[in-house]
Amino acid sequence: MNYLLWINIYLIVFYTFYWIFLRNTTFFQLRRFYLLTATLCSFILPSITFDRSFVEPMQETGGTVMLAAATIGQQMNLAVETTQQNRSASDVLAVLYLVGLLGSLTWLTARSIITRNAIRKNDKQSAFSFFNRIVVDPKIEGYDQILAHERVHANELHSIDVLLFEMIKIVNWFNPISYLMTRSAKLNHEYIADQKSVSTSSEDRIAYAHLLLSKALATDLPTLTNNFFNKSILKPRIAMLFKDRSKKTTLTSFGLLLPALALIVACQSSSNDDSAQEDTATNTTIDLSQDSNSSDESSTALANSDEETDTVMDDRELLFTETEIPPSFKGGMEAFYQYVADNYDYPAAAVEKGVKGRMILQFVVEKDGSLTNIEVLRDLKHGTGEEAIRMLKNSPKWEPAIQNGRKVRIQFTLPIQLNLAAGAESADEKAMNNG
């Protein structure tokens, strides 16, 4: 979804520039090139990332990664609840997007069928082209000019542009800019064909405008063709016929596009860095979950390279806070927080004293997935810290972090919020009751 978001941000920026600086110019070929290039760049630029690991491939941070607080007691585990809500919202958005995608694809299919039927029927007074297929009624008024116009569309392969923008509309069906870009591209095609099929004399322009107006009341079909009598764009076509050629100084406006793009790329890079930090849970609720199958495959594929690399560089003491592939608990971080909630037993002394508050623990996920160096940085006493250490020592193994093709160690800091529920039982009382 993040990639899709940046695609649409770039589309908005590129089209805003087009609307302000190029829409009313007579540089029609340049406008066509710009719209096509801007569309392609909108899909390419979001995929470009600036990975700092290429610059500092094995940098020791010496820091720690702060996890979201796990909550024990009468409240639900905050991290689990937050993750569930985020996933639920993401699932809803994904379903809505797929429904819109399917609807747009269905509509494109229907229009393709209408286009095919229109080509086969070859109705009277029809005038359109689709790729190299030109359909013009020989008895239509202005046959020669219309035929010349449609030949321009066919020779310059305008139908390829049309299909490209239709595909963009499918992917970004929710963004009005996609529809505006498609309309602008089609209108620009007509400008190009008009310019090449009409002389510069005023008389020819006036006669051509009358020809366009003669079919202003015709009914448009939702086809994919280049329709000569597309009444929705007749007015701007006629206006452009009588517009003076634009001055080349207008092109200096492209200088304004570069800093705007630089700003967007910088924001995207910053967003990627923030996302990477979120993926490692720096001061936020995180989800380090990886698909268990892909994690197993990654570990298996990297096993040999890990053994070879260890002989070259001893990194047993290095600790990382950011890695290419973060460590993962089986089932994801939601499962880890659930493990903490289910396996932490309130000590009897803490229950008797009504101990509440936040503990802070620190541990290292080793290269074999085990948890070591478990320490209590902030203790609430009365056995609460000891119980937390016991619980983490009994944790199932994690999938280790991967950096530059090998397993590495990473250190986490885990806050645990203890909320003693009314009538809560200690671990000893639970055992007695169960007995």
pLDDT tens per residue across span 320-360: 878 888 899 998 888 898 899 889 988 888 888 888 889 99
Question: 415 with 316, same domain?
Answer: yes
Based on the domain organization, do 208 and 292 belong to the same domain?
Answer: no
Are residues 148 and 32 part of one domain?
yes
Choosing from 229, 254, 279, the residue where a domain stops is 254
Confirm whether 261 is domain-assigned: no
Are 192 and 299 within one domain? Answer: no
Task: Name, in order, each residue with C-beta under 8 angstroms of 158's C-beta and a sequence gap of 6 or more.
Answer: 189, 192, 193, 226
Domain-embedded: residue 267: no
In a domain, 276, yes or no: no
Alpha-carbon span 168 to 162, nearest angstrom: 10
CA 328 to CA 336: how far, in whole Å?
Answer: 9
- Whether 278 is in a domain gets the answer no
* Residue 98 and residue 74 share a domain: no
Q: How many domains does the chain have?
A: 2
Q: Which residues of the chain have pLDDT under 50?
A: 51-62, 75-80, 276-315, 422-423
- Whole-number pLDDT of residue 222: 74
The backbone torsions φ and ψ at residue 122, rounded to the nearest 5 degrees and listed phi first, read 50, 60
Q: Both 313 and 204 in a single domain?
A: no
| Placement of tokens 């380090």 in the chain | 288
Is 396 a domain residue?
A: yes
The pLDDT value given to residue 421: 60
Alpha-carbon separation of residue 258 from 14, 27, 66, 181 (angstroms): 11, 20, 38, 20
**Any residues with CB less than 8 A from the CB of 75 and at least 6 apart, and which?**
417, 419
Q: Is 184 found in the same domain as 302?
A: no
Residue-range definition of the domain harbouring residue 350: 67-87+288-434
Task: Assess contact for 6 and 268: CB atoms under 8 A.
Answer: yes
Model pTM score: 0.58
pLDDT at residue 1, as a whole number: 67
Q: Report the distance separating Cα 165 and Cα 43, nearest Å.
A: 13
pLDDT at 220: 65
> Is the residue at 59 inside a domain?
no
pLDDT for residue 162 = 95
Q: Examine residue 62 and state whether it is found in any structural domain, yes or no.
A: no
The answer to whether 126 touches 135, Cβ cutoff 8 Å, is yes
Same domain, 314 and 236: no
Residues 81 and 119 in one domain: no
Domain identity same for 34 and 76: no
Residue 268 forms part of a structural domain: no
238-255 pLDDT, tens digit per residue, is 889 888 888 888 788 888
Residues 173 and 80 in one domain: no
Residue 186: the pLDDT is 94
- Residue 395 and residue 298 in one domain: yes
Give the C-alpha distances (Å, rounded to integers) separating 430 from 69, 72, 371, 418, 419.
25, 16, 27, 18, 17
